Structure 1
Amino acid sequence: MTRDTTRDMIRDPYDGPSLKRLFNPQSIAIVGVSSRETSFGARFVANLYAFTGRLYLINPKRAELYGRPCYPSLADLPEAPDCVVIATDLKTVEPIFEDCVAVGAGGAVVIASGFAETGDAETAAIQTRLAARAAETGVRLNGPNTIGFVHYESRAAATFLSDLRFERCWEQPREARRIGFISQSGALGLAFSQAAQRGVYFSAVLTCGNSADVNLADCISYLTCDPDTAVISCLLEGMPHPRQIETAVRNATAAGKPVLLYKMAKGQEGARAAASHTGNLAGSQDAYRTMVERAGGIYVDSYEELHELSAFFAKVGPPVADGTVVIATSGGAAIMAADAAEVSGVPLPQPNAEVAATLAARIPEFGSARNPCDVTAQVINDMESLEVCIRAVMSQPEYNSVIVPHVLAYETSLPRIALMNEIAGQSGKPIIVPWLTAWLEGPGALEIEEARHLVLTRSMDVCFKAIALWTDWHARRDRPQGGGRVSDPAAAALVAPKLVGPARTLTEREAKEALAAYGVPVVGEEVARTAEEARAIAERLAMPLVVKIDSPDLPHKTEVGGIALDLRTPDAVAQAFARMMETVAAAAPSARIDGVLLQPMVPRGVEIVVGATVDAAFGPLVVVGLGGVLVELLQDSVAAPAPVTVQEAHDMLRRLRGNAILDGFRDLPEVDVPALAAVIARVSEFAADHRGHVAELDVNPLICRGADILAVDALIVTHDPAAAEAGPTMVEPA
């Protein structure tokens, strides 16, 4: 095999402490400060008015600006600054960064735009040189094209955006500022931070811009080591080497910090014609989800959910159970809760006998003492009754939380909010308050957000989705890791010579032989080149048989009449041979025909497609879906960066929309899912081992009947050697 040299270019995320001088500086120098108050440099000075460290202004033409002394250059400062804000235009950035290197600065923030994002080769080259110098010298570079960052404990509002009222956040107790937010988009990053105006507080907001050096994965690494950050929330557009995120998320999860990530740009980029079904099924968006989740992170479906879920995780500790209970003052809200619980799969255990008796004694006959519990509007006038009901359900061990929908916003609800916060704090279980009134900022909203033990959600659906993600995150984190390679390591050397050479499509027979070396179970076959030879082979094989055209030029045999099924006599086999040769020759006159394959007719079972393709960013992706001739019509598939473990393959199968078919459906037997997952892991190891040669791989269908799993067709398309040498870049999972 040729060496995949591009893999050596991918680095691990920077360790958190190496970014401390940049993102939690004790000293900041601003280069580019002028007397024009609307300039970027002046805006930085204004925002850093409360910075607890030392602030230096660089301007060789002025002795003083904004009541602070100016220094001619970085070299004239009394110390090496931790962070240098370069608030100048593109053309001056490079020499100023060299000054940062010369004085031993910890890092630099480059706000100038017009670099690689423009597509201009000359300015892109400047960005490339800056990145290379940052890597060489260890002076970390944030940007270019970044808005900057905010570190709230040190009050370092190192950004040029104005009127954001940073003090609303940094004036809060340190323990209230638990969310660290990272965004490639500077505007959306700082927009997210405005949640502080409604009672959601941050430890830091970091924006990456072009990420020439410091990227989103590095920022996760920094916040993992930040003692003020409990939850890491990320807004991602895309990365050239996304598997850096996998390493960073896995490290954060191990440190007990949930990482929530929402990725924009969900559309399929660069749609292409693919020889295999897998090439059309694989999507990078799905690969991001699988990668983040298998590393222990939480993949979020929208920007709005990222807001709410981040605030949720910032307040809750480990769940003590899987179920929850609803205490509603509205029958309609109770019904909404039951619907949302069913959709999210959150259990609503019924009250035990002792709790049920307490509820029944307090709830009017026209209410409901079940779960969801309708205590009716009478509790508005009887605070003690509501308190008794909530304390009663809090005592039941099957409940991890209590949901109390807030239907109307009014001033008189404030004492009830304070009481619920007190009860939740005493019980160690959160009370979750779905805010159902359309008065979004009405009385009580801020009080709930600021209450340490209450969680506000803006819908019932998000409320239950949050609970499901919460229990799932802790279950995945506590699940034993491991699951090493399942195929024989020696198989790689055995198969590699068969894949070397000009780009080509292997015949089905060749593809199955290669996969069989990895322990993938494949259907047996014999080759016939004439009708009489086919008849002779059929006479000694058990019926029924399948006849398939044997051609490297016809990956989809059905489309050209290249498959005949359920043949029960030697004469039928010979006749099928003759018809097939005629039909295929008419449909594909230029195709090379090597004969036909005679295979046993495999009994009906669940059909699964397993394959791999090469993504420009991720490298090899393994794809699993419901297979057969409807594979691309159904589009029910899951992709993951290869290789995957057996457990990860199992998780992929359970993410299929039609996964219920694996448990037995009508006359189809239940599938041995662990056995199927092991086959998927073997295919993924094949794809990872031969990333430099295999462009596409397709096993379709994989017929599953209990533990009997058999690949009845396979396709492998190899790379052109030159393309393989400059192929995709990837990193191994940590």
Structure 2
Amino acid sequence: MTPPRLRPSAQLDRLFNPRSIAIVGASANASSFGGRFMQNLSGFDGSLYLVNPRYDEIGGVPCHAALADLPEVPDCVLVATGLSMVEAIVEEAIAVGAGGVVLIASGFAETGDAETAAVQHRIATRARESGMPLVGPNTIGFVNFASRGGATFLTGLDLEKGFDTPAERRAIGLVSQSGALGLSLAQSMNREIFFSHVLSCGNSADVDVADCANFLVDDPGCKVIVCLLEGLADPRRMEEVCRRATLAGKPLILCKMARGTSGAEAAASHTGSLAGSQVAYRSMIDRAGGIMVDDFEDLLEIAAFFSKVGAPSSDGSMVIATSGGAAIMAADAAETAGVPLPQPDGAVLATLAEHIPSFGAVRNPADVTAEVVNNMASLTACVETVLADNSYGLIVIPHPLAYDTATPRIQLLDELAGKAGKVIAMVWLSGWLEGPGAAEIETSRNLALFRSNATCFTAIRLWADWHRRRSAAAEQAPRLVEEAARSAVAGKLAAWGSSTIPEREAKALLASYGVPVTGDRRAASAEEVRSAAAEMGGRLVMKIDSPDIAHKTEVGGIALGLQGAEAAAAAYEKMVLAVRTAAPSARIDGVILQHMVPEGLEIVVGARVDPAFGPLVLVGLGGVLVELMADSVTAPAPVSASQAEAMLARLRGASLLDGFRGQPAVDRRALSEIIARVSEFAADHGDVLAEMDVNPLICRGAEIIAADALLVLGTREAEDAATSA
């Protein structure tokens, strides 16, 4: 599958890193949008031009009638006018060769009005045709703190504080679709978390979150990228941004809103009802090396932590607490998050035992008591020894109380962590959220502040996991299926005359992709069943053969363990009667006979075509209870064998793959390769495929075989129409 094209960051450089800005709609009214732009850009390092034919000057600054009258071509044009004037201004900006336009006006496609949506479409089309980037409409604008460029109309941001902060502390680049939520995050400057950029894209008619994040990947002042995302027309572009960021050594931390997934009401396959886009987002971001955070409230603490830490020396952490209760809470949170707390030994054990009094706890978590914390020499010895031991990637210190005398201790801890090249995570437990010490911890280079144990240990787990996954982001696995097979299957699918491809034909097509399938015989009468059963011998499975029946079990269309020709013939008569009763309008072509496959773990592998993602591949525990169990993992197709193996590991029932009830352990590598082949089938034929099910895939050791399959054809256009309806 060809990766989606990203807008090169250089195309956005004039827009987001401008040397000249024009405000169209500048105003002497300080409370107007134009007036607020002027105020926020009063300290801009570059050239600022005012455009409004109603004024000759505003506050002593010359005001021009049009963009064409400016002494130079502006890099960035801020449009602070109403909707009716926007289209003409965009055309003027294109004509003069502006570097980009920011449209703050609302009332476009977000209203659902067809007429204004058409205006948005026209201006976006013109921007793309001309190569001039357009941000918005319905956006708050952006801030570039390096150039003192407050290109936003919003108030409530202490821009001067951000501008005056040393560049090394402005490490986080923030991208938000929502202007208000982006502003709420940016107000964390008041708690000493600072930004290189705050970018908002509003309706994303042209420039979207992926474009903004990609720009930050190449910006040297940004060390960590935070994205607050509602949705993307083409989510696969974000996968490429994550991969680029990861390879560049920049953590990209994403929080996706609108997580709810409405089921596919008309889904014909199990996959169609289980494969949701939210889980696809997570799988996609994970495999590209990105970091997904579930809770909006955790975003900035985790980002600030990532802006301070280097590579972990190990996954393990050491908790040093002054309170037994705080130690217990930390241990609980570490266990929930999956962060190891290795027990001390050697020098660490000896040092802790020397300094911790008998009423403390010499273990991990260590309760060093207030006696050690109030003794700088003892505190130094304990912390230095733990930091020197690479069994511990960092130290976690709960901070129960806010008090004025904490500053020397905070300074000491920052110094000790800096000497060791590590970070100490401080968990603020006091109800006085902004009490003495909080700001000092935030401003410390080697201390990270968290407001809860849960967020702290989640961040530690994400940190260790991100460094493990960085090398995987560069993986470019070769195709498993040859082009000749893809072409042959494409021809057969194009010639198929109905929307459903039943089991026998579906398995034949999958076999072309190297998926192992059961052999079968077709029979259309009791006599043909009797003859086939006699020739085949052994215990047999009989299935109804109908292009109109997706789920055979539900209509009495499966019989198991048939022994002998007469039993098979009797089962045929009974099955046909049952199916005709349950589905009187279904076409019945006969039955399919197969040998019984030995018992094994049943897995479902399937795909559906999502209107935004395109083909999604699903893996889960299979069989007739697949939807009841709902234990599945979804990812955009195709996936490599190693990515498929990672999907298997994320199943809640993954331990079943290691053997149960005397069954041999499933060969995960062999199963992963089959999943990868199914995913290539989905990716190759997503233009005509709607859904597919391989269920069950029966796994017994290295013996893995597909016992049933279903393909449902459709078109992307048809699904898009159904989704919009």
Q: Normalised by the size of structure 2, how large is the TM-score?
A: 0.97
Alpha carbons 2:355, 2:372 under 8 Å: kept: no
The answer as to 2:655 corresponding to 1:674 is no
Alpha carbons 2:689, 2:715 under 8 Å: kept: no
Q: CA deviation at 1:686?
A: 0.6
1:492 to 481, 486, 491: 486
Equivalent residue for 1:708?
703
Q: SS state of the match for residue 311, structure 2?
A: coil
Quote the Cα distance in structure 2 between the aligned partners of 1:723 and 1:445. Answer: 55
Query: What pairs up with 1:406-425 in 2 under 5 angstroms?
Result: 406-425=399-418
The answer as to 2:644 corresponding to 1:649 is yes
Equivalent residue for 1:560?
555
Aligned residues: 722
2:116 to 106, 123, 128: 123
Runs of 4+ in 1 over 3 A off after TM superposition: 720-729
Alpha carbons 1:153, 1:174 under 8 Å: kept: yes
Q: CA deviation at 1:365?
A: 1.4
Q: CA deviation at 1:146?
A: 0.5
| Unpaired stretches in structure 2, ≥5 consecutive residues | none
Equivalent residue for 2:193?
200
Alpha carbons 1:692, 1:724 under 8 Å: kept: no
Distance verdict in 2 for CA 1:14–1:720, change over 3 Å: closer
Alpha carbons 1:619, 1:728 under 8 Å: kept: no
Quote the Cα distance in structure 1 between the aligned partners of 2:174 and 2:715. Answer: 43
Q: CA deviation at 1:122?
A: 1.7
Q: Match for 1:117: what amino acid? A: E
2:303 to 304, 307, 310: 310
Equivalent residue for 1:282?
275
Equivalent residue for 1:4?
none
Q: CA deviation at 1:725?
A: 11
The answer as to 2:347 corresponding to 1:347 is no
Alpha carbons 1:614, 1:728 under 8 Å: kept: no
Q: SS state of the match for residue 399, structure 1?
A: coil
Q: Match for 2:679: what amino acid? A: S
Alpha carbons 1:146, 1:208 under 8 Å: kept: yes
Quote the Cα distance in structure 1 between the aligned partners of 2:719 and 2:319. Answer: 57
Query: What pairs up with 1:684-695 in 2 under 5 angstroms?
Result: 684-695=679-690
Query: What pairs up with 1:584-623 in 2 under 5 angstroms?
Result: 584-623=579-618
| Unpaired stretches in structure 1, ≥5 consecutive residues | 1-6, 730-734
Distance verdict in 2 for CA 1:258–1:197, change over 3 Å: same
Quote the Cα distance in structure 1 between the aligned partners of 2:191 and 2:508. Answer: 62
Alpha carbons 2:51, 2:67 under 8 Å: kept: yes
Equivalent residue for 2:363?
370
2:522 to 517, 523, 527: 527
Query: What pairs up with 1:9-408 in 2 under 5 angstroms?
Result: 12-269=5-262, 271-408=264-401
CA offset digits 1:676-712 (Å, max 9, x no partner): 1111111111111111211110011111111111111
Structure 1 stretch 564-573 or stretch 165-174: which is displaced more?
564-573
Quote the Cα distance in structure 2 between the aligned partners of 1:161 and 1:449. Answer: 25
Q: SS state of the match for residue 404, structure 1?
A: strand
Quote the Cα distance in structure 2 between the aligned partners of 1:32 and 1:445. Answer: 42
Query: What pairs up with 1:440-451 in 2 under 5 angstroms?
Result: 440-451=433-444
Q: CA deviation at 1:537?
A: 2.1
Q: CA deviation at 1:497?
A: 2.8
Q: Match for 2:579: what amino acid? A: V
The answer as to 2:427 corresponding to 1:434 is yes
Equivalent residue for 2:565?
570
Q: Match for 1:391: what amino acid? A: E
CA offset digits 1:639-669 (Å, max 9, x no partner): 1111111111111111222222122234333
Quote the Cα distance in structure 2 between the aligned partners of 1:83 and 1:269. Answer: 40
Q: Normalised by the size of structure 1, how large is the TM-score?
A: 0.96
Quote the Cα distance in structure 1 between the aligned partners of 2:467 and 2:574. Answer: 60
Task: Give the alignment's Cα RMSD to 1 decimal.
Answer: 1.9
Q: SS state of the match for residue 405, structure 1?
A: strand
Alpha carbons 1:495, 1:514 under 8 Å: kept: yes
Distance verdict in 2 for CA 1:229–1:442, change over 3 Å: same
Alpha carbons 1:503, 1:720 under 8 Å: kept: no
Quote the Cα distance in structure 2 between the aligned partners of 1:40 and 1:454. Answer: 40
Q: SS state of the match for residue 139, structure 1?
A: coil
1:464 to 449, 457, 462: 457
Alpha carbons 2:264, 2:272 under 8 Å: kept: no
Q: SS state of the match for residue 220, structure 2?
A: coil
Quote the Cα distance in structure 1 between the aligned partners of 2:47 and 2:166. Answer: 23
Q: SS state of the match for residue 235, structure 1?
A: strand
Structure 1 stretch 445-454 or stretch 574-583: which is displaced more?
574-583
Distance verdict in 2 for CA 1:507–1:247, change over 3 Å: same
Equivalent residue for 1:541?
536
Equivalent residue for 2:633?
638
Q: CA deviation at 1:726?
A: 8.8
CA offset digits 1:491-533 (Å, max 9, x no partner): 1122123212444211210110010100011111111222232
Question: Which protein has greater RCO, CA pairs closer than 8 Å, 6+ apart?
Answer: 1
CA offset digits 1:141-187 (Å, max 9, x no partner): 11111000011111111111113211222221100000000001011
Equivalent residue for 1:732?
none
Quote the Cα distance in structure 1 between the aligned partners of 2:327 and 2:641. Answer: 41
Alpha carbons 2:632, 2:651 under 8 Å: kept: yes
Q: Match for 2:405: what amino acid? A: T
Structure 1 stretch 220-229 or stretch 659-668: which is displaced more?
659-668
